[in-house]
A and B are shown apart, each in its own frame.
Chain A
Amino acid sequence: MTQSIVVQVGQCGNQIGCRFWDLALREHASTNKNGIFDESLSSFFRNVDTRYKNPIDIPLGNSKQKIKSLKARAVMIDMEEGVVNEILKGPLRDVFDCQQLITDVSGSGNNWATGFMMYGQRYREQISEVIRHAAELCDCLQCFFLIHSMGGGTGSGLGTSVLNLLADEYTDVYRFTSAVYPSADDDVITSPYNSVLAMHQLTEYADCVLPIENQALVDICNKVSSALPPTKTGKKVYHQSSQCHIKASSAITSSDGGVKKGPEKPFDNMNNIAANLTLNMTSSSRFEGSLNVDLNEITMNLVPFPKLHYLVSSQTPLYSLTDVKLPPRRLDQMFSDAFSKDHQLIKADPKHSLYLACALMLRGNVEISDIRRNIERLKPSLHFIHWNQEGWKTGLCSVPPVGNPYSLLALSNNTCIRHTFGELKDRFMKLYKRKAHVHHYTHVDGMEASQFDSSIESLKWLIQEYETLEAQMGRTVEDIPRLKIA
């Protein structure tokens, strides 16, 4: 089995990363009953003997070793100390050690150029060193998961600088990015600049980008909390029908069962959704199933052209019922919901745009015939590009997410994403027309004004590509004349 390294950069990256590690531990704890360090644990964790001053890794060997002390295959980077320090003081402190983190004190001031140019230069050696160390502890490194926001300075700037470094030094290790896009009303004024500058890098150097929009996370959280029963302390009282008991701990926003105790922070619920995305996407490569989906299959199936590697994701169900006798209708509902616009992790509506490709990754008690039935049922309501009318990728992993009998992660390469990009472009242009704040960027050593132009050009090109493809929607599908054999 292969290993992956999570590189979390900036406030957002580290906060989501922190939720990821908590939920990953929870997931493995619920499947690993014998306390043995097995292959599936080794994909995100190391087993370490901490009795030594310089703790050494206990090799996986024949998967017979007891779990001693688990360490995350993580690299934490922030140019402020606050978030990382808090993590190191919190209940997760034992899964990280200080060799894995790089911090500074002054932050990037929500300036991509500071993150990318200044810190990118200053910390290049050190970051390279820390990542190399993490990579050397892997037996077969397959993938880097980069987690960061687009709107700030550190995640967006230094994060994409790290991406460049990875592309340079680890050419055949996949680079997946979970990128948090700012909402229209984001408090960071320069977020459109930062996002567009960062996107240029993502388009060039990532193998696969999973955009996540904060507004979409907020909406999903609201949807879940309006369905959840009131907490002991909460005042929320609402009517609940007797047959419909919702299991709070199964919610996609929930941290129940994790090591984290005490009050949840405002972003926690939202971040759990983003963290679950990485867990669900990797489940089939970590656990057994009758139709495995390895990480390299995701890009192979969902990226028809090199730079069009932005995937819209949705996860269903958002929570499950306590009633164990689930009617098949609910299973089918899970499939339907995955295509509805209020379950997507970006504010977009794939149903009314064009699919280039779609992956359905199932976990738990689902069989191949359930997938086939639902594909046939949903197909008529979806538009697929003429050369990929049967553009489905399917996977079955036997281990469900904690608290649920089954789940679905849908990953789509869909032209609806051009709307998200278009809005971002408009917000960028609104600022850039007046050259507002540009000097804060050009002041930074190494930053050229032309970066703004080339980045917005890159974005426009991307939008144009998706538009051209979408224009083919509804085109009557005709078979193309084939090779003639003499």
Chain B
Amino acid sequence: MSVVSLQLGQCGNQIGGELFNLLIEDATKLNPQFFSKSVDSKVNHEYDCEVVERFFTRDKTGNSLNARAVMIDMESKAISQTLSQAKKSGKWCYPEGQQFCQKRGSGNNWAHGFLEHGPKSWERVLDMVQKEVEKCDRFCGFLIFMSLAGGTGSGVGAYITGSLRDEFPHSFILNQVVWPYGTGEVIVQNYNAILTLSHLYRCSDGIVILENDKLQNICSRLMNLKHISFKDINEVISHKLASVLQPVKLFSQGRDAGFYKHATSVRNLLGDLIEQVCPHPEYKLMTLKNIPQMSEKSLAYSTYTWTGLLKHLRQMLIADASMEEGIDWEVKIPVPSNPDGEDYHQRPGELPRLKTRFNKSIANLLVLRGVDVHKSDLASFTDPRLNASWVPSGCATTIWCHPRPFNNYEKSATLLSNSQTPVAPLNFVVQKAWNMFTSRAYVHQYLKYGMAEDHFVDSFAATEQIIKSYSSL
């Protein structure tokens, strides 16, 4: 089944471009050393076909691939840059005529994007979207790339997500949002972020959060980069997203290597993902944790075992670590014999740790890719204590896998989790926005476009509610 992507604003367009690039690179290039009995040319071909079906169309000649994407920005430079980069790849490009851009950007003003550009653009954007949807034999939903801090991705993005919801009430909509640096990069970023999140919460099925701070850390600590560009960061984002979005099969414990060769793939990937990870309308925020992550150079010298990878990944989940470095191993889940959590590691002279200190989940999707994936033992991820007590056990963790190594990693694991991870950044953003709002600084810039102060207050209330829901898990 096919997914139609919408790339909004500079950030959305740059990330979309990088992602399609990776999807194709991964599908068409498999390191010969990874060919095996369970990953033969047939498996490989199937994989490639699935990637193409999901994210690309072939033109009439059958040679060149077009991304199933609509590009939207209110200024032209980011789109033209992304178009020319795609062309340079020589492997794929964007469909002609599926770019919507205006002349002047939204100027980091959510109200400008949401109240003015959004409504003005919608009709033509809808045309383009419909054209793209009609190209799909089986259409399963939308993937929307945007940032929270600017005016176009956030404002126009929120408007278009809402309008798509009305126009396609039964399609799945997944938003991928880039969280701005905590130390500030757009001065009104916190306003724009809460306005966007509160709107998306009403119309999106799921929101995947990617934080620039954490991504930059990954680039410097794990990828060993000195000068980190947005391209580097976007490659990490693409890796994380693609590790979930590439072809997968349902994991089935205790099978042999041959099993997955014949197992059918998860068809409605987007829909299944949303249904599994966002089962409750009050909880729609998702984050991605993956392991391993390293520079290409180190990749050649590293080997991993599934046991080791999964042990780390589980600890990253409960200790809420965004990368494998610096995980706090002291965080523990209380054992059943002592449900009050009295077995926390209390060091002499220190206060006992809070029993609820670990990162609780609503649901998790674990995706495993690579050599000997059938041998992994997943008991630690099916532990019901990972989740809020009211989550029915058995449906909280979904496991997908594929024996084909992903993006040159012999083995890799990614966790798409709906957990308490976003509470801290969300709290931070709401506090900063509130501090500013009580001085009414910058508010006039929004009122200029016909927004009312109440609109801010409603968004504050909505985001406070999200924080409260997650905190009280």
Q: Which of B250-266 contact A (CB under 8 A)?
A: none
**Hey, what's the 0/1 contact readout for B77-109 against A, CB within 8 Å counting as 1?**
110110000000000000000000001111111
Q: Which of B169-225 contact A (CB under 8 A)?
A: 181-188, 216, 219-220, 225
Q: Is A393's CB under 8 angstroms from B183's CB?
A: no
- Give A310 to B330 CA distance when docked, in angstroms: 52
Q: Is A294's CB under 8 angstroms from B75's CB?
A: yes
Enumerate chain B residues within 8 angstroms of A387, measured Cβ to Cβ: 435-436, 438-439, 441
Q: Is B464's CB under 8 angstroms from A483's CB?
A: yes
Enumerate chain B residues within 8 angstroms of A392, measured Cβ to Cβ: 183-185, 187
Enumerate chain B residues within 8 angstroms of A396, measured Cβ to Cβ: 230
Interface centre among A295, A367, A482 (most CB of B within 10 A): A482
Q: Tell me how far the C-beta of A75 lies from the nearest C-beta in chain B, rounded to whole angstroms.
A: 21
Query: When the two chains form the complex, which single residue of A290, A303, A357 contacts B14, counting CB atoms closer than 8 Å?
Result: A290
Enumerate chain A residues within 8 angstroms of B219, measured Cβ to Cβ: 369
Minimum CB distance partner of A395 in chain B: B185
Minimum CB distance partner of A365 in chain B: B227
- Give A21 to B62 CA distance when docked, in angstroms: 50
Q: Is A294's CB under 8 angstroms from B187's CB?
A: no
A305-B441, A387-B439, A483-B461 as given contacts; A296 in contact with B185, CB under 8 Å: no
- Give A291 to B80 CA distance when docked, in angstroms: 14
Q: Which of A441-486 contact B (CB under 8 A)?
A: 479-480, 482-485
Enumerate chain B residues within 8 angstroms of A480, measured Cβ to Cβ: 434-435, 438
Report if B445 contacts A (CB, 8 A): yes
- Give A479 to B190 CA distance when docked, in angstroms: 15
Q: Is A301's CB under 8 angstroms from B187's CB?
A: yes
A288-B77, A482-B464 as given contacts; A368 in contact with B435, CB under 8 Å: no
Report if A139 contacts B (CB, 8 A): yes
Report if B6 contacts A (CB, 8 A): no
Of A104-112, A217-225, A227-235, A370-378, the one contacting chain B is A370-378
Q: Tell me how far the C-beta of A354 lies from the nearest C-beta in chain B, rounded to whole angstroms.
A: 13
Report if A142 contacts B (CB, 8 A): yes
- Give A359 to B80 CA distance when docked, in angstroms: 25
Enumerate chain B residues within 8 angstroms of A300, measured Cβ to Cβ: 107-109, 151, 187-188, 442, 445
Q: Tell me how far the C-beta of B325 lies from the nearest C-beta in chain A, rounded to whole angstroms.
A: 17
Enumerate chain A residues within 8 angstroms of B464, measured Cβ to Cβ: 482-485
- Give A361 to B220 CA distance when docked, in angstroms: 23
Q: Tell me how far the C-beta of B139 lies from the nearest C-beta in chain A, rounded to whole angstroms.
A: 32
Report if B161 contacts A (CB, 8 A): no
Report if A382 contacts B (CB, 8 A): no
Q: Tell me how far the C-beta of B233 lies from the nearest C-beta in chain A, rounded to whole angstroms.
A: 7
Enumerate chain A residues within 8 angstroms of B131, measured Cβ to Cβ: none
**Hey, what's the 0/1 contact readout for A345-368 against B, CB within 8 Å counting as 1?**
000000000001100000000011
Q: Tell me how far the C-beta of A286 lies from the nearest C-beta in chain B, rounded to whole angstroms.
A: 9
Q: Tell me how far the C-beta of B423 lies from the nearest C-beta in chain A, rounded to whole angstroms.
A: 14
Q: Is B233's CB under 8 angstroms from A368's CB?
A: yes
Q: Tell me how far the C-beta of B125 lies from the nearest C-beta in chain A, rounded to whole angstroms.
A: 19
Minimum CB distance partner of A481 in chain B: B434
Report if B228 contacts A (CB, 8 A): yes
Report if B431 contacts A (CB, 8 A): yes
Enumerate chain A residues within 8 angstroms of B45, measured Cβ to Cβ: none
Minimum CB distance partner of A331 in chain B: B227
- Give A485 to B198 CA distance when docked, in angstroms: 15
Report if B229 contacts A (CB, 8 A): yes
Enumerate chain B residues within 8 angstroms of A479, measured Cβ to Cβ: 431, 434-435
Q: How many residues of B contact A (CB 8 A)?
A: 54
The size class of the interface chain A forms with chain B is 35 or more
Minimum CB distance partner of A3 in chain B: B103
Enumerate chain A residues within 8 angstroms of B229, measured Cβ to Cβ: 290, 367-369
Enumerate chain A residues within 8 angstroms of B186, measured Cβ to Cβ: 297, 301, 393-394
Q: Is B181's CB under 8 angstroms from A372's CB?
A: yes
Q: Tell me how far the C-beta of A405 lies from the nearest C-beta in chain B, rounded to whole angstroms.
A: 13
Report if A1 contacts B (CB, 8 A): yes
Report if A386 contacts B (CB, 8 A): yes
- Give A296 to B106 CA distance when docked, in angstroms: 8
- Give A393 to B76 CA distance when docked, in angstroms: 21
Minimum CB distance partner of B444 in chain A: A306
Q: Is B227's CB under 8 angstroms from A370's CB?
A: yes
Query: When the two chains form the complex, which single residue of A1, A290, A372 contacts B75, counting CB atoms closer than 8 Å?
Result: A1
Query: When the two chains form the complex, which single residue of A2, A356, A375 contacts B183, counting CB atoms closer than 8 Å?
Result: A375
Report if B465 contacts A (CB, 8 A): yes
Q: Is A368's CB under 8 angstroms from B228's CB?
A: yes
- Give A454 to B435 CA distance when docked, in angstroms: 34
**Hey, what's the 0/1 contact readout for A398-430 against B, CB within 8 Å counting as 1?**
000000000000000000000000000000000
Q: Tell me how far the C-beta of B101 lies from the nearest C-beta in chain A, rounded to whole angstroms.
A: 10
Minimum CB distance partner of A371 in chain B: B185
Minimum CB distance partner of A359 in chain B: B187
Enumerate chain B residues within 8 angstroms of A394, measured Cβ to Cβ: 185-186
- Give A479 to B220 CA distance when docked, in angstroms: 31
- Give A296 to B14 CA distance when docked, in angstroms: 21
A1-B76, A291-B10, A392-B183 as given contacts; A482 in contact with B434, CB under 8 Å: yes
Q: Is B104's CB under 8 angstroms from A294's CB?
A: yes
- Give A356 to B225 CA distance when docked, in angstroms: 33
Report if A320 contacts B (CB, 8 A): no
Q: Is A292's CB under 8 angstroms from B108's CB?
A: no
Minimum CB distance partner of A296 in chain B: B107
Report if A388 contacts B (CB, 8 A): yes
Given pairs A367-B229, A394-B185, 17 additional interface contacts (CB within 8 A): A39-B76, A290-B231, A291-B230, A292-B75, A295-B107, A296-B106, A300-B108, A367-B230, A368-B230, A369-B216, A369-B220, A369-B227, A372-B181, A387-B438, A388-B441, A390-B184, A479-B434
Q: List 20 A-B contacts (CB under 8 A).
A: A142-B103, A295-B107, A300-B107, A300-B445, A301-B188, A305-B444, A357-B187, A367-B227, A367-B230, A369-B219, A372-B216, A376-B183, A390-B432, A391-B184, A392-B185, A393-B187, A394-B186, A480-B435, A480-B438, A482-B434
Nearest 9 Cβ contacts at the A-B interface: A296-B107, A390-B184, A369-B228, A140-B103, A392-B184, A304-B441, A294-B105, A301-B187, A290-B230
